[in-house]
Amino acid sequence: MTTRFADTAVLVTGGGSGIGRAIALAFAAEGARVAVAGRSAGPLAETVDLIERAGGKAVALTGDVTDTGDAARLVRETVEQFGGLDVAVNNAGVLGGLGPVADIDEAEWQRVIDVNLTGTWLAMKHQIAHMRAHGGGAIVNVASNVGTHLRIPGLGAYAASKAAVTALTRAAARDHIADGVRINLVSPGPVETDMSTRPGESTVDKAARMRTAVPAGRAGAVTEIAAAVLHLASPEAAFTVGADLVLDGGVTA
């Protein structure tokens, strides 16, 4: 275990699986105390167990970032557990509203916007409020290469929500760097998670698709996304403000 984030209090939303879990594990492995947040208690408990079995310290916090009361409570409970909030990673998101733009179900459109965009805004709103009142901090948001950098047929709602997260993050970075709050984002492409697997697709078929679709010849690993997030949150990136780090194996190069 290294100590780059020793004595650092970190909040990770969407930390029950996939990229969020990898981010939480990576911070804990480098000495951080990690609050793992999400809507389902079971997966969060599994993440905390993995951290604790590796010698780290973590706590599970259930909540829905689309609710401003919950978003505020996640910050408050992180502070109560760990004495502060130094880093926040806003990873909670959903893939939905699939199909051509004219055929997207209105309720599904609203769900995608609520979670991916409004949820990120509400989470940042309360995180920034605490950080600027307590000496600053770092925030890393998770967007996607689909949106600002790439459009894929049938993913209009998702693309719109994630492009908006990119714009919102960069606006917030300019608004709040003078408050001592440093904000950046990562935009992953195909990553080895359940979200990147098509219905009924085998592991072999997925690997073949990635070899064809991704110049690097494979999907990314969740640990690679986590490493980028930790870099942006670290003192080594102290002069990095409003950056959008695209991690997609060359898809949008």
Rounded distance between C-alpha atoms, residue 185 and residue 232, angstroms: 8
Contact between residue 201 and residue 193 where contact means Cβ atoms under 8 Å apart? no
Catalytic residue among 158, 185, 219, 226: 158
Q: How many CB atoms lie within 10 A of CB 237?
A: 18
Q: How would you class 45 by CB atoms within 10 Å of its CB: exposed for 0-12, middle for 13-18, buried for 19 or more?
A: middle
Question: What is the 3-class SS of 57-114, one letter each residue?
Answer: EEEEEECCCCCHHHHHHHHHHHHHHHCCCCEEEECCCCCCCCECHHHCCHHHHHHHHH
Rounded distance between C-alpha atoms, residue 144 and residue 136, angstroms: 26
The amino acid that residue 172 corresponds to is A
Let me know if 175 is a catalytic residue. Answer: no
The label of the residue with tokens 């359940």 reads 194
Contact between residue 127 and residue 65 where contact means Cβ atoms under 8 Å apart? no
Rounded distance between C-alpha atoms, residue 205 and residue 73, angstroms: 43
Q: Please list the alpha-helical segments (H only) found in 134-202.
A: 156-176
Active site residues: 158
